[in-house]
């Protein structure tokens, strides 16, 4: 709608129009002086083009009715609304200041304290609106005006509706809201309640703290799809100055499922103010302290490690009080006198070295020592990968800092060799595979740490630990946990002990549950009966195989059944999305083909008409018979099956890229490296306990 210069200076609905303030999707907003109230006000006029549709008028008037019910210092006040001289208008309070969008555009990301106070004020206004059963449904920075005192005011209730409204002004399946700040349920045109406003408030908080949208894309559909299916980026990676409590509040506000978010706006406002004032703090807990204490503990264990075993044939020194052991002088102690109670005697059998005669405490020390060695080796490979100057390249560390990269890699390799030397069976293929995979994943994790360009090795390593621990409960790590639960269960499933079998089955089921929650990702998808039945049948078969089998079987294989069950869960949730993409592409292709065929037919008819209207003659004056053009062949759209194949390829490509990006952004590759090192430790413990049981059987 273009500005009508004639309206400036005129009196409209008792208000003298002074100047134009802005223009939105529904109309134009003017600054005016209310003659009766003798104060500045805003006059919003509905665009004449939109006024031709009664539905737009209903939207416009619904904004006025919704906002008129509300009296709150963080919501603009409505003085009057109606129709005059054929124009629909709303008269509202004037806020001297700028929109939150303009503030961020001019100043960049806002300080945490200022941003938190603004969001708390917005939440206060939303709490009042929600108490009147009004949902805004379009909270975003451009709809928040900040006055000169720094107080926010919510405007534009054009999409608001009452929870109790019976008349719906939105058509079924229509998405309402702004894509960058739209909740997943709005993107899916599902049931919307006050928690959608909390999601949008969280996205607004994210934006004013970072200057970036939580999800971006080339189109609104792409952005909405990311809101629905992709994990929320870590706000602390974008702006490291943001405190952990702010990151956690944003994460909870923007969870995919409404029931997992905060439930009330005033609850969030109160919590934010307590955090901002320092009254409430996030406890780091004991886990962080244990992490930093672990190297010291490791060094102490290394110093106090047991001495090497004596040479073959020698007997270990022991207390003379123990029967059957040599005394200090080397002579055996005589047997006890007759009638005395026998004392317990442990005599090492021939051929069994003293290294294997380990007490429970000694085994525990060896396990902790081995754990410290393997984790230290993994950290060395992380540092080797972090030695590069540019993140995101596996070759940059070797090119930019070859000496540091090779030094850390060699030291890490030496530690893994030392860990292997601690094993009773020395080198084994399974253990070696886990150690090699842990080293490779650790190097890749170090190389892909999302650190600022030019950051040193120590900064990168610390950032990797910080990001990793901050994402331990993130949705991005669910697949990692699921994968390693599957590995652990597969490692122990063939044990004959029933308790161990029960643990293996529970671990398999836990991995399946994590796979389910990851791919569901908040989508209200009705599972396909066929895939759901297949997943259930495969799970039952896997449980049966796990319970009955004590050794590897090619056909009745629990590992294969549970792997197939995971694949069935994947297909159950991805196939509906692939089908949706295929249907959209099919409709677009049909429309395009219909348009091209129509254009070709029109061109053909024009050619026929031209040939009939013009008569050409040869040099002798005889009319030339013109050859009519051949009718155009009809273009056929691609089949739905072909569109499905293309959609499946595109979706799986996008999914793999999403998972790869999530692994990088959440330090997930570092997690994988640590889990592989833990699997190597599990192999070590299994071997150690096996030798201990072998010794105990003599």
- String of DSSP letters for 327-347: -TTSPBPPPPPTTSPPPP---
What is the Cα 209 distance to its own chain's centre?
A: 19
User: Mean pLDDT over residues 566-572, rounded?
Assistant: 83
In DSSP terms, 42 is beta-bridged to 31, 92
- Check: CB of residue 44 under 8 Å from CB of residue 32: no
Q: What is the pLDDT of residue 597?
A: 85
The tokens describing 107, both together, are 């100043």
Q: Is the pLDDT of residue 558 over 80?
A: yes
Where along the chain do its domains lie? 5-93, 97-161+176-277, 358-474, 477-611+638-665
Residue 406 banded pLDDT, cuts 50, 70, 90? very high
Residue 13 backbone phi and psi in degrees, to 5: 55, 40
At residue 28's C-alpha, the angle toward residues 25 and 32, to 5°, is 150
To 10 degrees, what angle do helices 529-548 and 498-520 make? 160
What are the Cα distances from residue 412, in Å, to 241, 301, 397, 409, 657? 33, 19, 16, 5, 30
Alpha-carbon gap, residue 433 to 679, rounded angstroms: 10
Q: Helix or strand or coil: residue 78?
A: strand
What are the Cα distances from residue 387, in Å, to 238, 378, 435, 688? 22, 14, 21, 36
What is the Cα 128 distance to its own chain's centre?
A: 31
Domain 97-161+176-277 fold is Transferase(Phosphotransferase); domain 1 (1.10.510)
Residue partners of 600: CB distance under 8 A and separation at least 6: 632, 635
Residue 264 banded pLDDT, cuts 50, 70, 90? very high
> Which residues are catalytically annotated?
138
Alpha-carbon gap, residue 199 to 182, rounded angstroms: 8
Residue bearing tokens 């909870």: 252
Residue 693 banded pLDDT, cuts 50, 70, 90? low
DSSP state for residue 260 in the 8-state scheme: G
Predicted confidence (pLDDT) per residue in 112-133, tens digit: 999 999 999 999 999 999 998 8
Q: What is the pLDDT of residue 354?
A: 41
Alpha-carbon gap, residue 519 to 531, rounded angstroms: 14
Specify the CATH number of the domain 5-93.
3.30.200.20
Q: What is the pLDDT of residue 162?
A: 53
DSSP state for residue 621 in the 8-state scheme: S
Whether 5-93 shares its CATH topology with 97-161+176-277 is answered no
Number of neighbouring beta carbons within 10 Å of residue 360: 8
Predicted confidence (pLDDT) per residue in 605-662, tens digit: 887 777 767 667 777 777 777 676 777 777 887 787 887 788 878 877 777 777 777 6
Q: What is the pLDDT of residue 556?
A: 86
Q: What is the pLDDT of residue 696?
A: 52
Predicted confidence (pLDDT) per residue in 11-56, tens digit: 888 889 998 888 776 778 899 998 888 899 999 888 888 888 888 8
What is the Cα 307 distance to its own chain's centre?
A: 48
Q: Is the pLDDT of residue 362 over 50?
A: yes
The tokens describing 378, both together, are 């993994």
Q: What is the pLDDT of residue 101?
A: 92
Alpha-carbon gap, residue 545 to 553, rounded angstroms: 9
């Amino acid at each position: 709608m273009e500005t009508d210069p004639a309206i400036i200076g005129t009196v409209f609905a008792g208000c003298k129009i002074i100047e134009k303030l802005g223009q939105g999707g529904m109309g134009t907003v003017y600054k005016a002086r209310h003659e009766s109230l003798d104060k500045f006000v805003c006059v919003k006029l509905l665009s004449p083009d939109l006024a031709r549709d009664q539905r737009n008028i209903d939207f416009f008037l619904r904004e006025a009715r919704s906002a008129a019910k509300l009296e709150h210092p963080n919501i603009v006040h409505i003085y009057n609304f109606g129709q005059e001289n054929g124009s629909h208008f709303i008269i509202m309070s004037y806020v001297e200041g700028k929109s939150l969008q303009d503030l961020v555009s001019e100043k960049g990301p806002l300080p945490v304290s200022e941003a938190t106070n603004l969001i708390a004020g917005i939440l206060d206004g939303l709490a009042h609106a929600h108490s009147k059963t009004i949902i805004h449904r379009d909270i975003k920075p451009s709809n928040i005006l900040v006055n000169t005192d720094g107080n926010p005011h919510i405007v534009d209730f054009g999409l608001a509706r009452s929870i109790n409204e019976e008349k719906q002004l939105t058509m079924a399946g229509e998405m309402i809201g702004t894509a960058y700040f739209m909740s997943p349920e709005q993107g899916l045109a599902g049931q919307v309640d006050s928690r959608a406003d909390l999601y949008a408030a969280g996205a607004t908080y994210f934006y004013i703290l970072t200057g970036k949208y939580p999800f971006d894309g080339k189109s609104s559909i792409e952005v909405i799809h990311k809101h629905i299916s992709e994990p929320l980026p870590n706000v602390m990676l974008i702006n490291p100055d943001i405190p952990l409590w702010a990151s956690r509040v944003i994460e909870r506000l923007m969870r995919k499922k409404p029931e997992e978010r905060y439930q009330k706006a005033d609850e969030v406002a109160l919590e934010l103010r307590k955090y901002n004032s320092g009254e409430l703090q996030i406890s780091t807990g004991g886990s962080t302290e244990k992490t930093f204490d672990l190297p010291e503990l490791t060094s102490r264990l290394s110093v106090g490690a047991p001495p090497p075993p004596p040479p073959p044939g020698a007997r270990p020194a022991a207390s003379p009080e123990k029967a059957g052991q040599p005394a200090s002088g080397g002579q055996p102690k005589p047997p006890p006198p007759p009638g005395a109670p026998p004392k317990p005697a442990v005599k090492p059998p021939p051929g069994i070295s003293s290294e294997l005669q380990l007490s429970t405490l000694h085994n525990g020390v060896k396990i902790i020592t081995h754990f410290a060695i393997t984790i230290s080796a993994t950290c060395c490979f992380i540092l080797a990968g972090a030695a590069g100057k540019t993140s995101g390249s596996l070759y940059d560390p070797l090119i930019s800092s070859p000496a540091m990269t090779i030094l850390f890699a060699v030291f890490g390799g030496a530690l893994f060799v030392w860990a292997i030397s601690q094993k009773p069976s020395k080198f084994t293929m399974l253990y070696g595979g886990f150690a090699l995979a842990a080293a490779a994943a650790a190097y890749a994790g170090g190389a892909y740490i999302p650190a600022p360009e030019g950051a040193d090795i120590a900064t990168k390593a610390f950032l990797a630990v910080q990001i990793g621990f901050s994402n331990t409960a993130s949705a991005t790590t669910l697949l990692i946990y699921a994968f390693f639960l599957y590995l652990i269960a597969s490692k122990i499933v063939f044990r004959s002990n029933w308790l161990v079998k029960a643990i293996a089955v529970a671990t398999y089921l836990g991995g399946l549950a994590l796979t389910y929650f990851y791919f569901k990702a908040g989508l209200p998808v009705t599972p396909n009966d066929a895939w759901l039945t297949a997943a259930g049948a495969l799970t039952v078969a896997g449980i049966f195989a796990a319970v009955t089998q004590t050794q590897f079987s090619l056909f009745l294989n629990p590992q294969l059944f549970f792997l197939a069950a995971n694949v069935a869960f994947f297909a159950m949730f991805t196939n509906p999305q692939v089908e949706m993409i295929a249907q959209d592409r099919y409709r677009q292709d049909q429309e395009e083909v219909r348009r091209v065929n129509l254009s070709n037919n029109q061109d053909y008819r024009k050619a026929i008409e031209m040939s009939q209207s013009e008569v050409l003659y040869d040099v002798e004056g005889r009319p030339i018979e013109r050859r009519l053009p051949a009718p155009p062949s009809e273009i056929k759209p691609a089949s739905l099956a072909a569109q499905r194949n293309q959609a499946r390829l595109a979706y799986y490509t996008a999914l793999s890229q999403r998972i790869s990006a999530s692994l990088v952004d959440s330090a997930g590759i570092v997690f994988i490296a640590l889990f592989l090192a833990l699997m190597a430790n599990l192999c070590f413990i299994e071997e150690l306990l096996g030798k201990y049981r072998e010794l105990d059987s003599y």
